[in-house]
Amino acid sequence: MARYQAGRRSLAELWGTAVTEDGYAGHPGRVLHPRPGSLGEMLAGVPRWADRTFIVQGRRRISFAHFLGAVESAAAQLARRGVGAGDRVLLLGYNGPDWILALWAAWRAGAVPVLGNRWWSKSETEHALKLLRPALTFTDLPEPGAHGITGSLAPEDLSAAFDGVPPADLDAVIAGFPAPPEDDPALILFTSGSTGSPKGVVLSHRSVIANQHNLLSRSGRLPGDLPADAPQPVALVCTPLFHVGGVSNLLTNLLTGAKLVLNEGRFDPGRILELIETERVQSFGGVPTMAIRVLEHPDFATRDLSSLRSWPLGGAPVPTSLLETIGRRVPQLERRGLNNTWGMSESGGFLTVAGNRDLAQRPGTVGRPYPAVELRIADPDESGSGEILVRSPTVMLGYLTPDGVPDATVDDDGWLHTGDLGHVDDDGYLYINGRSKDVVIRGGENIACPHVEAALARHPLLVEVAVLGVPHPDLGEELAAVVVHRPGNAPTEDGLREFLTGTLAYFEIPTRWRVQTEELPTLPGEKIDKRTLRARFGTG
């Protein structure tokens, strides 16, 4: 396996902005050129941040120099445990410096890190182990053997690597990274499993690098554009790092010399507000549910949030009312710093982005594609809406199958069928109309749940909303809504129906309701758990 040679190309020669109609993985498509050809090349330039703090979690503060030096030591430890090139290393743990170290140590050893979901049940863990057959499992589970795990490595087994003296030549550390073919597997992560068993998504080296290239190119933060003495950005990450958005966030902050602040434990909006104030956080993102709970927390008005410059949202439809609330309550973000992104595990990262001006002028849009992303609407109806197809070098190789070979989910021309429904306007802006699986068919009428949720979210008394389909003996399905209101002033079902009348068609107005103050149940990452909500309707 070839090794990356540090210094063979300058940063400007590594990270270009030219979009060419080229090809990859045996089919046509757009690529950015020039581009890093390996993870080692992607790291070129990171050593100039050596003295900066890279990771902060609680009392732990780790510099870039200590981190890169620890990667070398941790990779050697993996090799002593029998991990070799192409082997799979399962990471099954909560966010933390040691988790990040395990990820990069696996890459340095030439292995394929697999990002497991720390909230998996025992049966889901066993399913993943049978599918993966990992050479080693890094986990903070108290009793790995009880989950069927053999050959485990605990965080404390790796953490000592941070205690050594950083090597003087960090470029030499980077030069030791393998340089496999771009279309070899680099990373496996899992879908949420909200509608079935989690599926393993296989991403190539090309995918991991191209996603970062897209993001940094669009935001003007390519490594060649950043001087070594530029002020250090500060980013707070509270979404699970084992999701594609978490990995992307991690890599972005590593490549741009940012300080990465990690919360401890599960998502706590009060703790998030405290971290923004004490660490002077400039960027904090997540899914809409997280933003709502931060905004509604009783400490919000008493915390100093003046350092915030960016609040990106994604992972679920973003109600216009939420963006308006953020702009009102965090005034410096009213004109700049808000954005809505769209992507998925299968796409290897983010596909489109919309900024403040886009969101103000085109309510509901998720923006335009990143440079090397192509969009197509399959079989559009009379309104132009249909399934969204995407083609990008970031797209997965396929889902992992028991024989170890990714299945052919992507068609021969490289188009991924996303399962999302949407339309594109004349200026190339994409709008998501719902999931093909998040559509309720009521007596022959198709109802997109996100469309109804967006209308309900504008009600002044509501904090969270979820709309879903439940069985009906005559209509097949009927529409149900679960709404969370602020304490002290509960809306009535009749009042909610009246609020929607005139905005939605009669058949789009929910006929079953739950009005409550209890927060909605969520999956890891704080997406709404509609399967649990649907089961509650079914039992009463």
Here the tokens at position 339 are 């954005």
Residues 6+ apart with CB under 8 A from 114: 88, 89, 90, 91, 128, 132, 134, 187, 188, 189, 200
Cα–Cα distances (Å) from 271 to 40, 55, 185, 299, in that order, read: 35, 17, 37, 10
The structure tokens listed for 379 are 């079989």
Strand pairing report for 88-92 and 112-115? parallel
Q: SS3 of 347, please?
A: helix
Residue 93 structure tokens: 């743990």
Rounded to whole angstroms, the Cα distance separating 153 from 147 reads 14
pTM: 0.84
pLDDT (tens place) for every residue of the chain, 540 residues total: 666 554 567 898 999 999 999 888 889 999 999 999 999 999 999 999 999 999 999 999 999 999 999 999 999 999 999 999 999 999 999 999 999 999 999 999 999 999 998 888 787 888 899 999 999 999 999 999 998 999 999 999 999 999 888 988 999 999 999 999 999 999 999 986 544 567 899 999 999 999 999 999 999 999 999 998 989 999 999 988 998 999 999 999 999 999 999 999 888 999 999 999 999 999 998 888 889 899 999 999 999 999 999 999 887 667 788 888 999 999 999 889 999 999 989 999 999 999 999 998 998 899 999 999 999 999 998 889 999 999 999 999 999 877 655 555 678 899 999 988 899 999 999 998 876 667 787 866 668 788 889 889 999 999 999 999 888 876 778 999 999 999 888 999 999 999 998 888 788 899 999 999 999 998 766 678 888 898 888 644
- Tallying the residues shown for the chain, one arrives at 540
Bridge partners of 376?
389
Structural domains of the chain sorted by starting position, each given as residue range(s) with its CATH number in brackets: 439-538 (3.30.300.30)
Do strands 152-153 and 200-204 pair parallel, antiparallel, or not at all (unpaired)? Answer: unpaired
Provide CB contacts within 8 A for 427, sequence distance 6+: 368
449 beta partners: none
Q: What is residue 72's three-state secondary structure?
A: helix
Q: Which of 277, 261, 437 is nearest to 344 (CA)?
A: 437
